[in-house]
Chains A and B, each alone.
Chain A
Amino acid sequence: MVTPLETAGPAHAIECRAIRKSFPGVLALSDVSLSIRRGEIHALLGQNGAGKSTLVKILTGVYQPDGGEIVVDGKRVQLRTPSDAEANGIVIVHQDQQLVAQFDVTQNAFLGREIISAGGLLNMRAMRRAAKIALDRVGANFSPDTLVRDLSVAQREQVAIAAALLRDPKVLVLDEPTASLSEAEAELLFSIVRALRDDGVTIVYISHYLDEVLDLVDRITVLRDGRLIETLDVAGVSRGDLVQMMVGREISQLYPKEEVAIGGPLLEVNDLRQGQAVRGVNITVRRGEIFGIAGLMGAGRTELAMALIGALPRAGGQVTIAGKPSDPGSPRAALREGFALIPEDRRHEGLITDMTVRDNLTLPNIARWSSFGLLNLSREVRDAKDLIGRLAIQPPNARQLTRNLSGGNQQKIVIGRWLLGDTQVFLFDEPTTGVDVGSKVEIYRQMVELARRGASVIFISSDFEEITGMCDRAAVMHKGKINSILERDELSTETLLLRASGNSGDEETADTAETVLPDTPDATITPAGSVLGNWGTIVGMVLVLCAITFFAPGFLNPGNIFDVLKQGSVLAFIALGLTVVLIAGGFDMSAGAVSQFTTNLAAGTLSAGMGSLAGIAIGGVAGIVLGFVNAALVLILGMPPFVATLGTMFVTMGATLLYNGGKALTLYNQPEFFFLGQGYVGPVPFVFILLAIVTLVLHIVLRKTRLGLRMYAVGQNLAAAELRGIRQKRYAFASFALGGLVLGLSGVVLAAYSYGASALATGIDFLISALAAAFLGSTLSKAGDLNVIGTVVVALFLASLSNGLIQIGVSDQALPGIQGIVLIIAIALGVIRKRGIGQVLIF
């Protein structure tokens, strides 16, 4: 991989020679040659699309260049993967630090390159010590044991840098590190970066903010349109020079700007706030006006738009539209008030790519084409075709799926869907990114057309040229605030760039760094969080048990307690198996069916006279095999876990019935096998001792080994795991197999407990208790993640609940329902604040 040096440049940490990279239709980098000196802070500057991120991705092994070579430390290298880059000492800190929120700092820092002690366990002490040293280097004031989810954004940045330092980098790439930091936090970061340079680390620094670049770095390279414009020393460079180099051209495109009569104010926004992203915005937009909002990534532009249409909750401020107060609770309400949003991420937030052109065009106002509840399809198609003609959508086919259209045509559809309604305020969020020139002009024309009809058009963009070309006025947004409003004659690309990168002259600084954790509005199954704190569940369970004791004093007799432990242990085994599968992000509908199947296998094996060991072995092996089947369906064929395991559940139930011929397999005279499920050691049921041992072993495997750590990582933050080179397949496979083994053995225990196997094939029945135990158990851990000890505690609690309720005189027929209620409440606590809907992956 490393070829001997050709021309040595020992003063240079990295040399890029004539790097070229093209994507379909775009030349992203053309003949870029640059040298980064050892021990310097080197800034990469450029507008969006200038080629900075492509260059960085090539340096970190994510992309392969089409031409040119990379020389590291005087040796020519080929960086085929991110780990190749790391092996050459090039480490990147990504802009969105991908960390596993439920892990502590040490675990995050070492994920993917854990230190293992002689016994095969994680050497937590060594890792913590090293993490502490790295944290000290970045001036962190928190301990390596802190959970990442309890850290602020700035502290997470420190963790990410500390983790990078542990890789012993020669070159550290920082990608937009200050994008989500406050001024004070950014200052801290700068001092860390300077200290690292003084330690001899070479730093490549990517930023939009000219001020901080001029303060911090030693040399600057400016890229524009995929070309290297110049590399220069920071001394003697002015902001103006840099802006000139970054922009560097006359307005090249023809903008179809037309003078339109401007009316009175339509939209007035007063001190609007949204989370940490929008910190008090004041703007007034008039009828017939195209009003630009220029700003860089992270300035809060998108959040402003989302807050206006009710897609994000406001923290304060007033908005009026045509004099009426506007505070929509949802985009639907905003639509009725006259707002329309053309979102930034067209493919994920704008279009429904599985639907046709017509369906997308008519979606928001679909009721318009229905009479008596039925759609008038011919009228709808006619109107859709009108729009297709008006917007020049290619191909002009209303029944085409939008997935296959070009970016420009997709964007025209998202715009077109709002043209037939009563919309007054149009919010265009970056409408022209990834759009061909012809479509761009069409989109600009539509803006003018809308303005001419008396609407207000808000044009959000980081392409300052198009703002200059199209807008009547423009506000510049920086760190959540409008820092200046420019009239048409004041607009120029240079001014906008200067202002957007933070130079307004009168900006307030030093906001106290009170950063909120980014919330994840997804509807996937996640462990119930800390709604009631870590103790809520425990207190709740103890209260319930106290109440039961009060009504049925016999409940606390030692004999009864041991009975409960015996009953609960069997369920706990099944719940353990399910928990292991859930930990790596899987799901298992077949858990109950699998354990029932192995119950039958074990009973059959014993009644065939093959002995206990054979029964245990066959049960365990069958469980592993079924686990592998599930894993193969999910990971190799790519089926969602729900469907795959539903299929396995059916097949397993069929196999069970085939095996036992629909009859119960009752065992007689197998004292040593029955001891597994019914025996006692002193007063303690043997099955409970067995459960304790299995739980302990699983706890060690999951929490103290590399395998377990990575299983958790894959389940909790797949992106973070993959960035660290952890492959999902391997660890998800392991979790299905390990879970299958436990489920298989749980069936054996069940056979020993119930003296054989019953004739029923009720695959779903065990599932509910097991799910309740797993999810409620997750609230018992500090981080709120799934864990085997919590699962076992809750499983035993559910058994005592059943036992106690029966003692009180509640019918055992009520028990399934009570478990159902417990399950629903346990989940509701975890999801209610996410505000998602309960969709699942079913295809």
Chain B
Amino acid sequence: MTSQTTDRFSAGTITDFMRTYGALIGMVLVLLIFYWIKPTFLSPANIVNVLRQSTILIILAIGLTVVMSMRGVDLSVAQVADASGLIAAMLIIHGYSIWLAFTLPLVFGLAVGIVNAILMAYVGIPAIIGTLGMMFIIRSGELMATNGAEPQMLFTLPRAITKPFLFLGQGMVGPVAALVMLAAVVVVLALGLMHLTPFSRRARAVGSNVRAAFLAGIDIRWVFGCGFMVASLLSSIAGVALVSRTGIAMPRGAEPYLLDAFAAAYLGTLASRHGHMNIFGTLIGALFIAFLSNGLTIVGLGAPYRFALNGGFILLAMAVGSLKRKS
């Protein structure tokens, strides 16, 4: 045991330190540049603002991380979030109870997750293809339901009707925004799921060596399928939260989050010793992406830079990750 502990901490050389924490330091440096250009970037008000905005991305990216840690991938997460928000908004607009507006989208999310699980885990369709197909099926459904992407506005409704629904996105629990609370709860639950449950071990086994996991008596299809169910369920939560924050459900409005979520998950691998997908890393990655896009907006750079930088960061994370794995 002692030999091992020294082994873990003898990594005190600079290269090893950089290998472990270099990415984090890099992220902080990038954010400090924005601070240097525009000091308001790190003002408390802006930080709180970004934290609230980042909730949706955090939840989506965590769902994606669960799938990707098993070598799956889910391209439909943003579309599920989109459709879930839409369902919530339409339920409220058509006078259904708030209770239903919170639960029915989650039922929808779970249902999509189950279909994805069947397609990928039981039929065996490669996840890139199957979830891409699912993404387009949901998109068609949305377009038809909204007569070609008409926005569903909640803020034009009487405040009394929408208030309980908008509380999630706009209210405060004591000194903390309800959205931030939601993100914290999801992060804690996800950390628990992926570190403290029997599922976490099985999922890691499926992600590392599916054949060995199968022969060790693990129900690989069920475990792999669970990943899709978790991802879709979390996406629907994120979608409801998004609409609750903005008060408007724009069909296809959540699609940009897909690419951000990928960037967050891949950046998150940098926070792991061996370059694996992990919840904590994804949290860091999502926060970084959220602050980055806010910073870009503050200094007057728009979507093009966000896309390009996100893409660049994914490639960078992969390049660094492959160096880590080689060592």
Contact = CB atoms under 8 A, between A and B. Distances in A.
Given A332-B217, A662-B302, A642 B132 contact: no
B121 to A, nearest CB: 5
A828 B123 contact: yes
Given A343-B215, A374-B192, A824 B133 contact: yes
Given A397-B4, A838-B130, A841-B71, A330 B219 contact: yes
Interface stretch (A72-80, A158-166, A646-654): A646-654
A441 to B, nearest CB: 25
Contact of B304 (A352, A397, A658): A658
Contacts of A613: none
B315 A831 contact: no
B144 interface: yes
B308 A644 contact: no
Contact of B71 (A771, A827, A842): A842
Contact of B266 (A396, A643, A811, A828): A643
Interface stretch (A51-59, A197-205, A540-548, A632-640): A632-640
B133 A331 contact: no
Interface string B119-140: 1110111111110111111111
Interface stretch (B43-51, B157-165, B177-185, B317-325): B317-325
Given A820-B140, A839-B72, A843-B275, A651 B129 contact: no
A729 interface: no
Interface in A574-600: 587, 589
Nearest to A659: B304
Contacts of A813: 140, 143-144, 148
Interface in A389-430: 395-397, 399-400, 417
Chain B, interface residues (CB within 8 Å), range: 35 or more
B214 A824 contact: no
Interface stretch (A87-95, A742-750, A761-769): A761-769
Interface stretch (A228-236, A247-255, A356-364, A480-488): A356-364
B198 interface: yes
Q: Which of A524, A587, A643, A650 has the most CB atoms of chain B within a 10 A radius of its CB? A: A650
B34 interface: no
B286 interface: no
Nearest to B326: A638
A823 B221 contact: no
B196 interface: yes
A639 B201 contact: no
A417 B216 contact: yes
A589 B205 CA distance: 27
A637 B318 CA distance: 9
Interface residues of A, number: 93
B309 interface: yes
A837 B125 CA distance: 7
Contact of B136 (A350, A644, A816, A838): A816
B212 to A, nearest CB: 5
A837 B201 contact: no
A835 B124 contact: yes
B72 A359 contact: no
Contact of A840 (B126, B215, B221, B262): B126
B132 A767 contact: yes
A639 B322 contact: yes
A589 B198 CA distance: 34
Interface in B295-311: 302-311
Contact of B209 (A353, A396, A647, A662): A353
B4 A524 contact: no
B263 interface: yes
A377 B200 CA distance: 13
Given A397-B4, A650-B259, A831-B125, A335 B140 contact: no
Contacts of B135: 764, 768, 820
A837 B220 contact: yes
Interface in A672-693: none
A650 B307 contact: yes
A187 interface: no
Contacts of A8: none
A352 B205 contact: yes
B223 to A, nearest CB: 9
A639 B133 contact: no
Interface in B96-129: 119-121, 123-129
Contact of A651 (B197, B274, B312): B312
Given A646-B314, A650-B263, A349 B215 contact: yes
A838 B72 contact: yes
A642 B127 CA distance: 11
Given A647-B311, A647-B312, A375 B125 contact: no
Nearest to A309: B215
Contact of A644 (B125, B274, B318): B318
Contacts of A831: 123-126
A363 B148 CA distance: 50
Given A768-B132, A835-B124, A332 B71 contact: no
A775 B129 CA distance: 10
B141 interface: yes
A644 B315 contact: yes
Given A654-B305, A839-B70, A839-B127, A367 B209 contact: no
Contacts of A768: 132-133, 135-136
Contact of B4 (A362, A395, A639, A655): A395
A420 to B, nearest CB: 13
Interface string B241-276: 000000000000000000100110010010000111
Contacts of A359: 201, 204-205
Contact of A818 (B140, B192, B213, B309): B140
Contacts of A834: 124
A656 B72 CA distance: 29
B210 interface: yes
Interface string A371-396: 00111010000000000000000011
A209 to B, nearest CB: 30
B140 A815 contact: yes
15 contacts: A330-B219, A332-B217, A399-B4, A643-B315, A650-B312, A771-B132, A811-B143, A814-B144, A816-B139, A817-B141, A820-B136, A824-B119, A827-B130, A842-B71, A843-B275
Interface of A: 309, 311, 330-332, 334-335, 341, 343, 348-355, 359, 362-364, 366-367, 369-370, 373-375, 377, 395-397, 399-400, 417, 523-525, 587, 589, 633, 637-639, 642-644, 646-658, 662, 761, 764, 767-768, 771, 775, 811, 813-821, 823-824, 827-828, 831-832, 834-843
* Those 3 A-B pairs whose CB atoms lie nearest each other, nearest first: A650-B311, A817-B140, A654-B308
Given A364-B217, A838-B127, 4 more contacts: A367-B198, A400-B4, A654-B309, A839-B126
